[in-house]
Amino acid sequence: MEIFRTPAEIQAYALSAKRRGKTISLIPTMGYLHAGHASLIDIARQRADIVIVSIFVNPTQFGPNEDLDAYPRDFEHDRTLCEDHKVDAVYAPAPDSMYADDASTWVEETVLSRPLCGASRPIHFRGVTTVVAKLFNLTLPDYAVFGRKDAQQLLVIRRMVRDLNFPIEIIAAPLVRDEDGLALSSRNRYLSAEERKRALVLSRSLRAGRRTIEGGGLETIPTVIELMKKEIEAAGGRVDYVEALDTGSLTAPNADTTELLLAVAAYFGTTRLIDNQFIQVKS
Ligand code: PAF
């Protein structure tokens, strides 16, 4: 497995692979890899000749009071996980090599990035789309794999790829949960044992909400949302949002809606967790 530290190196590697007729899969990550990332790598492996994992804690997607400095990092652990999963190349740039000091160009999606996490993290998705566009230009992938855990991110990236004609297939990988139901996230390590137990209300209430909407249709949404908020607060969480939106537009569902995103963000202690369920709507 090769490790590259600068944009020029990884781009030369990707260009040489493309010239040899190889296909490339990219898994963009911020490191501190877990079984969820491993599942993305395994999916990527099935598609392409070459699998590249990028590991970069991207400063432009963190707000001023967010956890950029505290974000967990463990390169040796990440390297081992990548080696174990037969990754061909890791791109782990030094922070100052990714952005010029006077960088002044952004890639911004302006509709799907506004609700949900975009409402409480206003610059977040602009940072994500900008860095992902850069990673696409550096690694020249045919496929890029994103987890459904970051559902809004997945939808925003798909929109960016469509709107800017990137010749890349975006693959949505299933959300991976711990045995107790907690969605895997690098941020779970911030939780105390007590907070972790309390946070199980997220997956539990989402499952129940999904069953209710599947059984009773769109009319049940307001009740489901109220109930979920109450349950999360009763478990000691502080709700950021609970919403059920049309996955095509990330607006309120209507008679044409075929798929819903039931999504939640809540704080347990100081840790903000997100989770979701995609729900097919019967016509
Ligand atoms: O999902 C993440 O880990 C990040 O948002 C991503 C896609 C690697 C961009 O920094």
Interval 177-224: pLDDT, tens: 999 999 999 999 999 999 999 999 999 999 999 999 999 999 999 999
For residues 217 and 157, state if they share a domain.
Answer: no
Residue 1 CA, ligand 1 centroid: distance in Å: 22
- Position 238 confidence tier, pLDDT thresholds 50, 70, 90: very high
Task: Determine if ligand 1 sits within 6 Å of the CB of residue 188.
Answer: no
Q: What tokens appear for 171 in the block?
A: 């693959």
Task: Determine if ligand 1 sits within 6 Å of the CB of residue 29.
Answer: yes
For residues 144 and 80, state if they share a domain.
Answer: yes
Residue 154 CA, ligand 1 centroid: distance in Å: 10
- Position 118 confidence tier, pLDDT thresholds 50, 70, 90: very high
Domain that holds residue 239: 186-280
- Please provide residue 151's backbone torsions phi and psi, each rounded to the nearest 5 degrees: -65, -45
For residues 168 and 193, state if they share a domain.
Answer: no
Whole-number Å distance between alpha carbons of 122 and 138: 26
For residues 146 and 25, state if they share a domain.
Answer: yes
| 181 located within any domain | no
For ligand 1, atom 9: residue with the closest CA: 128
Examine the pLDDT at 269 and tell me if it is beyond 90. Answer: yes
Task: Determine if ligand 1 sits within 6 Å of the CB of residue 117.
Answer: no
Q: What tokens appear for 95 in the block?
A: 């922070």
Burial (0-12, 13-18, 19+ Cβ within 10 Å), 200: middle
For residues 203 and 165, state if they share a domain.
Answer: no
pTM: 0.97
Q: What is the CA radius of gyration of the chain?
A: 19
Domain count, the chain: 2
Please say if 85 is a catalytic residue: no
For residues 76 and 105, state if they share a domain.
Answer: yes
What is the average pLDDT value for the chain, to the nearest integer? 97
Q: Which residue has the tokens 């496929």?
A: 143
For residues 166 and 191, state if they share a domain.
Answer: no
For residues 248 and 207, state if they share a domain.
Answer: yes
For ligand 1, atom 5: residue with the closest CA: 128
Structural domain ending residue among the three candidates 145, 173, 201 = 173
- Position 282 confidence tier, pLDDT thresholds 50, 70, 90: confident
Task: Determine if ligand 1 sits within 6 Å of the CB of residue 160.
Answer: no
Residue 85's CATH number: 3.40.50.620
**Minimal CA–CA distance to 269: which of 58, 127, 67?**
67
